[in-house]
Chains A and B, each alone.
Chain A
Amino acid sequence: MTQEKFIEFILKLSAIVTILTTIGILYVLLSESISFFKEVSIIEFLTNKEWTPLFVKKNFGILPLVTGTLLTTFIAVSVALPVGITIAIYLSEYANKKFKKITKPLLEILAAVPTVVYGFFALAVVTPFLQSFIPNLSGFNSLSAGIVMGIMIIPYVSSLSEDALSAVPKSLRNASYGMGATRLQTSFRVMVPAASSGIIVSVILAFSRAIGETMIVAIAAGQQPRLTVDPTVPISTITAYIVQVAKGDVPHNSLEYKTIFAAGISLFILTFLLNNISFYIRKKFREQYD
């Protein structure tokens, strides 16, 4: 083999590590969950309303974890979405260069802060603060976890949406201004609709990011699986449950151990679907402007 071919081979091998990673993830999740589902029926897993694998009386219904996950996610997205899109519109249609130059790296900081720090923030600052308005707010709850998670994902929404807005052809914007529209009218009647698929992508990715977030909920939401949509009470999420079990001393090959892989595969499927929907939309969206 010549040197050139050898180098190419090494490079290729490095790239293939990413495929092996995926295969590894699928193998690990599938093999452990298959052996989990040999002991627990899928029907029970999907329909039982309680999740108590660590108790004496064991229940294996994933629903409480899924609702907990979706509850924190919805709270997070309802914070991040309006703020993030407003930022995107402001930065792409209103702000001057200097303001952009200063604020963009600052916004990135929001995404760079380690999540364990946000968890502390939610638990030690936001919950006590909210308790002064909502007296019956529990010390652990999905509300503050969700709000803080929302702050964290603001930059995901804003930067992807801004990219989408700036990909809209200039001619469209100029046409609107030419007709005497204000910036606000141009933004909301022309730019946002034209960039809508890109904005939708940013929202889906924000969902996906929030669903996979772990430490904020593990710290601030309570680690108590509960089938509820009440944001004031302790709950758990899929991710928080995995951390909770891994932290303890569960013997491997026990059923408890396998539950984290069953939970893991549910999480993987959720995020995988969302990510691929967003890829699909993005691909269509690219074709639209090419």
Chain B
Amino acid sequence: MTNSTKNRIKDRIFNFIGIFATLIGIIILGFFIGSILYDGLTRIDWDFLNSLPSRKAEKAGILTAWSGSLWIVIFTFLVVVPLGIAAGIYLEEYGDKSKLSSLLEVNISNLAGVPSVIYGLLGLEIFVRLMNLGSSILAGSFTLALLVLPIIIVATREALKAVPPSIRAASYGLGATKWQTVWYQILPAAGGGILTGVILAISRAVGETAPLIVIGALAYVPFTPSSPMDEFTVLPIQIFNWISRPQHEFTINAAAAIIILLIITFIMNGIAVYFRNKWQKKINW
């Protein structure tokens, strides 16, 4: 065999290895999801979604868990979306070359790399204890809001950056102030990109477990929350709790709850990808 045919064969082999590597993770995940569906799908029914937790696996449901997750998501959203977009606008549109701006930038990249349990410790000391919120929905939402804040800031900045400078020039040229330009032209043009970031951030918040455990969210909450100061549990904590039980029935409950959690996660990510594609097409004017 000549050297060049050998090389060509190697090239072909790597082609297969590449496809294999790309798909292996997805295939394993698919296999896993299949086995979870097999375990948990039959467990999902109206009662499962609408029952309080119980010591008996067959009677236990995820009502408190999903309603807790819903409360947490709503309050996290209310806090982090205005905060993150405002901070993103400041850094991209107002930030100059001052010390503050570069400090903010370095700081945000660092925050994005801080492990989520650490945010839990922050929330535990500051929100739960110092601000005396207890292990409430509000404390949980604040904690998660800080955790996903960098995601929204970064997405906002990327989206603003993609808006062509000619739009700014046109607006300023007509006598618009900086804020008018941002509010009427730049933000709407960047909307799709920001929306994508927001959905991804919220999807992340839905799936977070560790920081909420650390701030003292309970595994067993026998009531649905009725105010932001109530104690709570969330879907991932409920899952964690069921996984930790040795009985097989609870494992099935865990599988069923995982199906629900994955559906939520996949729908949100799907929507995010959809908006991103749509927006990327639009931004190329």
Contact = CB atoms under 8 A, between A and B. Distances in A.
Contact, chains A and B (beta carbon distance below 8 A): yes
Interface of A: 3-4, 7-8, 10-12, 14-19, 21-22, 24-25, 28-29, 32, 82-83, 86-87, 89-91, 94-95, 99, 103, 105-110, 112-117, 119-121, 123-125, 151, 154-155, 182-185, 187, 205, 208, 211-215, 218-219, 239, 242-243, 246-247, 252, 260-261, 264, 267-268, 271-272, 274-276, 279
A19 B116 CA distance: 17
Contacts of B18: 86-87, 89-91, 94-95
Given A3-B179, A87-B21, A182-B11, 18 more contacts: A14-B86, A15-B86, A15-B90, A15-B91, A15-B95, A15-B104, A21-B122, A83-B24, A87-B18, A105-B269, A110-B25, A120-B243, A205-B113, A215-B240, A218-B210, A219-B243, A247-B219, A264-B118
Interface string B194-217: 000000100110111110011110
Interface string B96-116: 000000011011111101111
Contacts of B86: 10-11, 14-15
Nearest to A186: B11
Q: Report the 7 A-B pairs with minimum CB-CB distance, sorted nearest first.
A: A212-B115, A90-B18, A114-B207, A14-B86, A11-B90, A275-B113, A214-B210
Nearest to A119: B243
Interface string B170-207: 00000001110000000000000000000010011011
B25 A19 contact: no
Contacts of B203: 112
Interface stretch (B27-35, B43-51, B159-167, B224-232): B27-35
Contact of A184 (B14, B89, B124, B254): B14
B132 interface: no
A128 to B, nearest CB: 11
Given A90-B21, A264-B121, A272-B110, A17 B83 contact: yes
B84 to A, nearest CB: 8
Contacts of A115: 207, 209-210
Given A28-B126, A83-B25, A103-B23, A21 B146 contact: yes
User: Which of B21, B86, B104, B110 has the most A CB atoms < 10 Å from its CB?
Assistant: B21
Contact of A86 (B17, B83, B149, B210): B17
B53 interface: no
B126 A239 contact: no
19 contacts: A4-B178, A14-B87, A15-B104, A19-B107, A22-B111, A24-B126, A25-B119, A89-B18, A90-B15, A90-B19, A105-B269, A113-B29, A114-B209, A115-B207, A116-B243, A151-B28, A184-B14, A205-B113, A260-B121
Nearest to B18: A90
A181 to B, nearest CB: 8
B53 to A, nearest CB: 16
B73 interface: no
B61 interface: no
Contacts of B258: 116-117, 120
B22 interface: yes
B8 interface: yes
Contacts of B204: 112
B122 A243 contact: no
B220 to A, nearest CB: 11
Contacts of B129: 252
Contacts, number: 247
B140 interface: no
Given A11-B89, A114-B265, A184-B10, A18 B239 contact: no
Contacts of A213: 115
Contact of A32 (B118, B125, B214): B125
B29 A14 contact: no
B141 interface: no
Q: DSSP majority for the B interface?
A: helix
Interface of B: 7-8, 10-11, 14-15, 17-19, 21-26, 28-29, 32, 35-36, 82-84, 86-87, 89-91, 94-95, 103-104, 106-111, 113-122, 124-126, 129, 146, 149-150, 153, 177-179, 200, 203-204, 206-210, 213-216, 219, 236, 239-240, 243-244, 251, 254-255, 258, 261-262, 265-266, 269, 273
Contacts of B150: 18
A267 B106 CA distance: 19
B149 A106 contact: no
A214 B262 contact: no
Contact of B179 (A4, A211, A279): A4
Contacts of A123: 243
Contact of A125 (B32, B121, B243): B32
A32 B83 CA distance: 29
Contacts of B24: 83
Nearest to B21: A86
B219 A113 contact: no
A279 B106 contact: yes
A201 B110 CA distance: 14
A183 B15 CA distance: 10
Nearest to A103: B22
A119 B254 CA distance: 11
A117 B117 contact: no
B76 to A, nearest CB: 14
A18 B111 contact: yes
